[in-house]
């Protein structure tokens, strides 16, 4: 998912990160197939060999069992909080707190997987590192094709349309008057896809450098875990750190926050009811998934 700001989506919409497969008609069905999706995603990047496939599948199964057992109940609480915020009208501080909660949980998940990620990194062969580099290059080409096509107006329109896909997922259809106001708030966000592409490439280079260091220096598991821990922390903390780009990151964050608030403020009671119902459906699915674990 290409970044469009320090926080891709805030508050209520960031809960989408709790269910990346929620576009499926049933979150419960999607979650139950999440282990397979994650396996094919990894395989698509490094082309797992026959030996790796066996234990990678096992590691993913264990990760999902831990996640189902320890995290889903908290997701229910997050969604219930979002329902209350939606009814009352969230503040910028509410949205910030929601984002921080999601960020921390996402980071926790990656840190939980550190031993398995270290095993995978230590097992990678030169041809697999080459495959990873090619996949990154292909992803960057796709980013350019989608996000950097045409002039500024065309790029703003594409960004707006991608945002509207998320808003419509939550709130249903909007009127033309609402869409015009949302488009205005969307276009007010700083636009610099060259910068975001450079940030993507920076992360990719760090991943490749870390993977090659593991192989070249024949790092043991503990040293590999420490290296990956630093890599994950950098990825999460990059936008908060002082840098020559911080002013842009801060402006993008503020504008993204205002876009979310604009949509919520424009939403009619019927549209808010639509969002509440969708969240309730996810709450029910998470509760059912938790019960299946018992």
Q: Is residue 6 part of a domain?
A: no
Residue 153 structural domain: 11-293
Report pTM. Answer: 0.85
Burial class (CB in 10 A: 0-12, 13-18, 19+), 282: buried
Instruction: Number of helices (H) and strands (E) in the chain: give both, helices first.
Output: 14, 0
- pLDDT, position 26: 63
Does residue 252 have a pLDDT over 80?
A: yes
Q: Is residue 20 part of a domain?
A: yes
How far is 181 from 179, CA to CA, in rounded Å? 5
Q: What is the mean pLDDT of residues 188-194?
A: 97
- pLDDT, position 242: 65
Q: What is the mean pLDDT of residues 185-206?
A: 95
Taking alpha carbons only, the member of 110, 84, 112 closest to residue 98 is 84
Does residue 128 have a pLDDT over 50?
A: yes
Q: Is residue 117 part of a domain?
A: yes
Q: What is the mean pLDDT of residues 130-152?
A: 96
Task: Count CB neighbours of 100 within 10 A.
Answer: 12
Q: What is the mean pLDDT of residues 71-86?
A: 90
* First-to-last C-alpha distance (Å) of the chain: 34
* % of the chain residues with pLDDT over 90: 61
Q: Is residue 97 part of a domain?
A: yes
Q: Is residue 267 part of a domain?
A: yes
Q: Is residue 164 part of a domain?
A: yes
How far is 259 from 189, CA to CA, in rounded Å? 8
- pLDDT, position 101: 84
Check: CB of residue 6 under 8 Å from CB of residue 252.
yes
Indicate the number of domains in the chain: 1
Q: Is residue 1 part of a domain?
A: no
pLDDT band at 234; cut points 50, 70, 90: confident
Q: Is residue 186 part of a domain?
A: yes
Taking alpha carbons only, the member of 191, 166, 193, 189 closest to residue 257 is 189
How far is 176 from 146, CA to CA, in rounded Å? 25
**From residue 17, how far is each of 42, 106, 195 by CA, in Å?**
18, 9, 23
């Amino acid at each position: 998912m290409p970044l469009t700001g320090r926080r891709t989506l805030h508050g209520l919409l960031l809960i989408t990160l709790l269910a990346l497969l929620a576009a499926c008609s049933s979150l419960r069905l999607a979650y139950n197939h999440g282990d397979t999706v994650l396996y094919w995603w990894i395989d698509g990047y490094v082309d797992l060999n026959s030996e790796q496939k066996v234990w990678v599948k096992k590691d993913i199964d264990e990760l999902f069992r831990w996640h189902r057992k320890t995290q889903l109940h908290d997701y229910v609480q997050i969604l219930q909080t979002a329902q209350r915020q939606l009814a009352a009208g969230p503040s910028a501080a509410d949205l910030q707190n929601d984002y921080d909660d999601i960020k921390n949980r996402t980071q926790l998940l990656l840190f939980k997987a550190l031993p398995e990620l270290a095993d995978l990194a230590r097992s990678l062969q030169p041809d697999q590192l080459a495959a990873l580099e090619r996949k990154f290059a292909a992803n960057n080409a796709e980013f350019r094709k989608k996000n950097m096509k045409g002039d500024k107006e065309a790029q703003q329109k594409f960004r707006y349309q991608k945002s509207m896909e998320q808003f419509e997922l939550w709130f249903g259809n909007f009127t033309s008057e609402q869409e015009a106001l949302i488009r205005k708030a969307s276009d007010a966000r700083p636009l610099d896809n060259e910068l975001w592409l450079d940030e993507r490439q920076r992360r990719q280079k760090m991943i490749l450098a870390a993977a090659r260091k593991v192989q070249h220096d024949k790092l043991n598991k503990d040293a590999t875990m420490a290296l990956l821990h630093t890599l994950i922390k950098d990825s999460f903390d990059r936008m908060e750190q002082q840098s020559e780009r911080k002013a842009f990151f801060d402006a993008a964050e503020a504008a993204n926050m205002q876009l979310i608030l604009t949509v919520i403020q424009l939403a009619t009671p019927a549209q808010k009811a639509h969002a509440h119902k969708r969240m309730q459906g996810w709450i029910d699915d998470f509760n059912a998934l938790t019960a299946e674990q018992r």
